[in-house]
Amino acid sequence: GAVVSQHPSWVICKSGTSVKIECRSLDFQATTMFWYRQFPKQSLMLMATSNEGSKATYEQGVEKDKFLINHASLTLSTLTVTSAHPEDSSFYICSVAPHWTKETQYFGPGTRLLVL
Amino acid sequence: QKEVEQNSGPLSVPEGAIASLNCTYSDRGSQSFFWYRQYSGKSPELIMSIYSNGDKEDGRFTAQLNKASQYVSLLIRDSQPSDSATYLCAVNLGGGADGLTFGKGTHLIIQP
């Protein structure tokens, strides 16, 4: 499988601040990465597809101006939660789908965000 | 609207028995199917992938796919307490780099 890291693993911030989450593909170059969000006792929901060198594709209902995605290199995608509010508190998880695995996605360890 | 349905459980199975997890999906165009295991507080880890009708076995795990019935299942043989987790069914419409649609997961408890 693919090795994916995320940083930070935990973040606590005040309401109104912005938080940046990094997702790194450690053992292969990923032209596409995915960002998911998971609320307590809920399943993972796809937020957006991050494409290297181009704009991200957001799912319906996800505010692109609030969740800024930058996929600046083949190994790094970042998700910035702008002006975070308590309702943004969630578990944010990125994934990659290596070309050799026929769409199988491997997930990073996740970032738990708590907005006070 | 793509939907993936799972019984949320909890499903309680004695140690050593077979655990059977089921999943149905609404989009007949779905082509790729996955089972992930998620421990509390952790991210999902891949258990099995399946793309064709029939059974696929990997160690103690067997995935079964029936596209006509839009049904995917996961069997866990010789269940161990360490198998206690939430099992997520996920589907991909296919055709390339698409995000996955997940079910809500089945909470499995293996009783020692």
Chain B residue at shortest CA distance from A60: B1
Q: Is A44 an interface residue toward B (CB < 8 Å)?
A: yes
* Cross-chain residue pair A103–B94, CB shorter than 8 Å: yes
Q: Fill in the DSSP letter of residue B82.
A: G
Structure-block tokens of residue A110: 């996740």
- Which among A107, A86, A88 is positioned nearest to A96, based on CA atoms? A107
Q: What is the pLDDT of residue B94?
A: 62
Q: How far is CA A102 from CA A14, A42, A59, in A?
A: 41, 26, 22
* Cross-chain residue pair A42–B34, CB shorter than 8 Å: no
Q: For A64-95, what is each residue's pLDDT tens digit?
A: 999 999 998 889 999 999 999 999 999 999 99
Q: Is A96 an interface residue toward B (CB < 8 Å)?
A: no
CB atoms within 10 A of CB B74: 23
Residues in chain B where the model's pLDDT stays below 50: none
Burial class (CB in 10 A: 0-12, 13-18, 19+), B49: buried
For testing the chain B interface, which of A35, A103, A111 should be mutated: the one with the most B CBs within 10 Å? Answer: A103
Residues in chain A where the model's pLDDT stays below 70: 102
Q: What is the pLDDT of residue A31?
A: 84
